[in-house]
Amino acid sequence: MHYNIPPPADFNVFDIVANTVSKCNPSKTEIILSIHARYQGRREETNMVIMNIKLLSGHILAKSSLELLNSEPSVKRVELDEGYVNIYLDGLKRGEAVDYKMTLEQDVPVENLKAAVVKVYDYYQPSDVAATEYTSPCAKRVVLKAEQFGRLRASRP
């Protein structure tokens, strides 16, 4: 008999990827967050699965995205909780993947925006977990003020 045999270091029960596409407007930014999660564990099926999505600072989930998530057949329930979106799934079969898209709207401008974490885990086996980060593509852009742009153009031949 074998008890508590840890999985290999490079093994994750879940595979999760988060990608963003953004409309970077100075007045209002919208980010489309795409999340892909797949169960690749040893069991045939998971227990209830929770996707815990931290919202970027100064951003909120668009109401249309909440309605869309609630209409997904694989989603049991969606909760909004102090800067987080929790998506509850009944379970995933081995090899089964889920894909969700949601729109995040900028509510308050935030400078030096840091990455946010997306985590997926089995509710009754919290050690079965995977996490990834995402950030706004707009946060990576350098914004020049009009006077800086004028100096930059004047210095070019």
Q: Is residue 5 in some structural domain?
A: no
Is the full-model pTM beyond 0.85? no
Q: Is residue 1 in some structural domain?
A: no
Dmax (CA) for the chain in angstroms is 77
Q: What is the reported pLDDT for 153?
A: 46
Radius of gyration of the chain (CA): 20
| Cβ atoms of 137 and 20 closer than 8 Å | yes
Q: Is residue 79 in some structural domain?
A: yes
Q: What is the reported pLDDT for 9?
A: 52
Q: Is residue 102 in some structural domain?
A: yes
Q: What is the reported pLDDT for 148?
A: 42
Beta strands in 4-145, from DSSP E residues, in sequence order: 14-24, 29-39, 49-54, 59-61, 75-81, 84-89, 97-106, 116-122, 125-134
Helix (H, G, I), strand (E, B) or coil at 150: helix
What's the rounded Cα separation, in Å, for the pair 90 and 77?
A: 9
Q: What is the reported pLDDT for 1?
A: 52
What's the rounded Cα separation, in Å, for the pair 12 and 69?
A: 25
Q: What is the reported pLDDT for 111?
A: 82
Q: What is the reported pLDDT for 151?
A: 47
Query: Can you give the CATH number for the domain in which 149 is found?
Result: 2.60.40.690
- Tally of structural domains, the chain: 1
Q: Residues in the chain with pLDDT < 50?
A: 2, 7, 141-157
Q: What is the reported pLDDT for 144?
A: 43
Q: Is residue 4 in some structural domain?
A: no
What's the rounded Cα separation, in Å, for the pair 62 and 70?
A: 13
Q: Is residue 131 in some structural domain?
A: yes
Write out the residue range of the structural domain in which residue 78 sits.
14-155
Q: Is residue 38 in some structural domain?
A: yes
Residue 52 to residues 16, 49, 83, 153, Cα–Cα distance (Å)? 12, 10, 10, 46
What's the rounded Cα separation, in Å, for the pair 66 and 88?
A: 13
Q: Is residue 138 in some structural domain?
A: yes
Q: What is the reported pLDDT for 133?
A: 95
- Give the type of residue at 151: R
